Structure 1
């Protein structure tokens, strides 16, 4: 039974240009942390990710949700978590502040993720193991599929999971091999050209087969020059992604994306405002076969549904600390599986949580084990930091979701 709630505002300045992009020049990587403590001493840890200011607001909203879980048994709670999620997400006064987006939805992510972490720790298994051992019906019971009925009913979600049961044992081999990673830290926006070149060489030496560069400069020639530096250092066999972090208007994106195609990007990420679905649809058609990657700032399953319906996204970057947590992440992953679009999560959380979720996506749903973003800046703050060897995520073995922070233990 959940006996105690703790909410913490954890902030970690980065410095030296790390984490910078075209929009967010001086980020302070921050977590609104929820701890759910049960009567046996297990602590469920979940968080939402912000860049500093406003983190306290998310913490206050998380406390509102979390206090309603006191006295609940985690097994009983998770047996029908989809209904709990729906209740919280549609709480009338908080819903007005969204709906299903912004501070209140980030808070719901923090609390939801703490529930899943506590569930896994109570069972004494890593989160990926807990999720892959659930039956299709048990998985569906944790989801809120409201507003998706035109594309994904409860029955369709159940059938999709059931239909992917064959081959599950073969896909389980990923546990031994590890999940491929890609390096985002080669090309933060504030890094010099020389630093980018040096980081590319280092990433290749470390075994990464994919890497990402931040673009969106006031002078497009800077982006083009730096993109070609990365391609030159990486070679033709390495996947190189470009991330504009919403910097361009549609007319700007139409021009510069075509110019950037000369270096053969694997994808172009967040080229314009994340709410402008039709702009992305227009751009996707204009620059085909180059694909767009979208989702870092998409807050809920309904907008993801629209991106999929319009054919805007070649890759979906749903983030379990941006949407309403693990439950909504799985829901979006099911939608993507229906549309046969790869899921490559945004990793604002250093991959701690998402390393579990991509294993589940691959094993239980049959998603391609493409790769997972790797950002190392906060690893020293975690009790069980991710392990990367040869550019590959090693499978976590400790119970839970790998989200415990040293400063809070």
Structure 2
């Protein structure tokens, strides 16, 4: 049973220019960590991701949730985790601070992710393997599908999973080949042109076939010039994504995205305010066939449902350390599978957790194995860091979700 809990506020300043985008010019990659200690000596570790200030608030809220798990057996907790998630996310006093967003939802992500990590460690399995070994009913029991019933009922979720799990052995080869990655670190916003060029060449030499450039400059001519520069360096066969990190208003986005189409971006990411579903719908229609990608700042399954219902996104970037953790990530992935929209997670956590979840999405749910974002800046902070070779994530084999941080 869970005998003790504690939280940790861990912050990691980055190198000059690293992690920068049009909105976040000087980020401090930070984890609000929850540790659930089992009486057998196993510790489940989960975290939510922030950029520094306020991380301590997430830790305080996570402690409130985690304390309620004391004395409970993790198998019993996870047997019907969907109900637990629903109860925690609707806790009456915390709900006023959300609902289902902000500090309290990030805190729930930290605790939820620790539960999944402890569950996998207790079973002696990497998280991806634990998840693919569950049957459809067992998976759905871990989910809260409330507010999705107009698009995805419990029975529909079970049926969708059962239909895809019937053919999952055909997709197990991904664990041998590895999951493709793409390089985000080539084009951080504060990098000068020469560093971007050098990084593009390094990414190509390292086997990456896709990369991302940060845009959203006060002068759009800078974005247009740099985007064409990356295309010239990378060549026409490489996928290049452009990420504005919510910088533009809709009129600006309509103008600038139209001008960026000439360099053939694979997607344009977070072009405007993440809560403005209808603005994204307008923009998506205007710039087709170029597609929009979004989800880094979408906090819950309900808003993702709206984006899918309005055909506003060609790629969904749900992040298990931004929504309410692994449970809500899987709920959103199921919804996306119904709509046949690819899931390409945002990876502020360096891919540690998401490398497990994209394997589950592909093997058990039938999602396309497109690629997973790779950010290497905190690699040396993890006990079992994600391993990317030749542009490909190697399948993790250690029990758990790969989220254990080195003591320091």
Shorter-chain TM-score range: over 0.9
User: Tell me, what secondary structure is at the counterpart of 2:148?
Assistant: coil
The alpha carbon displacement at 1:167 in A equals: 2.2
The alpha carbon displacement at 1:3 in A equals: 0.2
Q: Which residue of 1 aligns with 2:165?
A: 165
Question: What is the TM-score with the length of structure 2 in the denominator?
Answer: 1.00
* Per-residue Cα deviation, 1:138-175 (whole angstroms, up to 9, x for no partner): 00000000000000000000000011123210101000
Q: Which residue of 2 aligns with 1:98?
A: 98
| Aligned counterparts, 1:314-325, within 5 A | 314-325=314-325
Is 1:44–2:44 an aligned residue pair? yes
| Aligned counterparts, 1:1-400, within 5 A | 1-400=1-400
In 2, distance between residues paired with 1:165 and 1:97?
38
In 2, distance between residues paired with 1:398 and 1:32?
23
In 2, distance between residues paired with 1:362 and 1:407?
33
Aligned residues: 408
* Per-residue Cα deviation, 1:118-154 (whole angstroms, up to 9, x for no partner): 0000000100000000000000000000000000000
The alpha carbon displacement at 1:6 in A equals: 1.1
In 2, distance between residues paired with 1:219 and 1:304?
31
User: Tell me, what secondary structure is at the counterpart of 1:225?
Assistant: helix
After TM superposition, which residue ranges in structure 1, 4 or more long, deviate above 3 angstroms? Answer: none
List alignment gaps of at least 5 residues for structure 2: none
The alpha carbon displacement at 1:407 in A equals: 2.0
In 1, distance between residues paired with 2:101 and 2:72?
26
In 2, distance between residues paired with 1:312 and 1:330?
20
In 2, distance between residues paired with 1:315 and 1:271?
13
Q: Which residue of 2 aligns with 1:406?
A: 406
In 2, distance between residues paired with 1:322 and 1:168?
28
In 2, distance between residues paired with 1:271 and 1:337?
24
In 1, distance between residues paired with 2:166 and 2:134?
15
In 2, distance between residues paired with 1:390 and 1:112?
32
The alpha carbon displacement at 1:26 in A equals: 0.2
In 2, distance between residues paired with 1:145 and 1:178?
31
